[in-house]
Homo-oligomer: A and B are copies of this chain.
């Protein structure tokens, strides 16, 4: 018989469940009791590891921002130059949408919650933002992309991609069921759209 599986630590399991609930139902709609029950522990165990609900959110954001960063950094590492880098990032986001949708859901939720949660997320992702902004500007300078305010362009790209990936209800309103197959089509569509919107030639 194998040794009893150690498995993920309690605090990790709490973070997982909290992430899922914050992303899926929202911060306010998430109760510590419910999270605890889903893990078959008591609320007090949660409060042992994280002194308050706010602190739990903070921890979830910290871990998620790190996960998000490494996912994108990894995608960028072997990505080539120019447009290929945009493609790599978009594909990486769609991969996250398929495999860890809660990560993107949390992004949405945090942006809705505003400070201090949003500020924390902002700070944690700032390096990526800087990089992306600088990249877009360089591409424009090189004459590869149409000229825009890089920050507004980044917001537009962000909104489009995140929307295509997280706006499940709007998708349904449009009569498109959010299946895995649909996700692939959306990825193709978004890439094509971005291409014609941004690329010169």
Contacts and interface: CB of A to CB of B under 8 A. Distances in A.
Interface of A: 26, 28-29, 108, 110-112, 114-115, 118, 121-122, 125-126, 129, 133, 146, 148-149, 151-156, 158-160, 162-164, 167-176, 185-186, 189-190, 192-194, 196-198
Given A114-B168, A146-B196, A159-B163, 17 more contacts: A28-B29, A110-B169, A111-B167, A111-B170, A118-B169, A133-B174, A149-B185, A151-B175, A153-B193, A155-B164, A155-B174, A156-B163, A156-B189, A158-B167, A159-B159, A159-B162, A193-B197
A123 to B, nearest CB: 9
B29 A193 contact: no
Could you say how many copies of this chain the assembly holds? Answer: 2
A14 to B, nearest CB: 21
Q: Chain B CB within 10 Å — which of A125, A193, A198 has the most?
A: A193
23 contacts: A28-B29, A112-B112, A112-B169, A118-B172, A122-B169, A126-B173, A129-B174, A148-B189, A148-B192, A149-B189, A151-B175, A151-B176, A152-B164, A152-B186, A154-B174, A155-B171, A155-B174, A156-B164, A158-B167, A159-B162, A160-B163, A163-B163, A196-B198
Contact of A26 (B26, B160, B162, B185): B26
Contacts of A149: 185, 189
Contacts of A111: 167, 169-170
A148 B193 contact: yes
Contacts of A118: 169, 172-173
Contacts of A192: 148
Contact of A167 (B126, B159, B176): B159
A188 B149 CA distance: 11
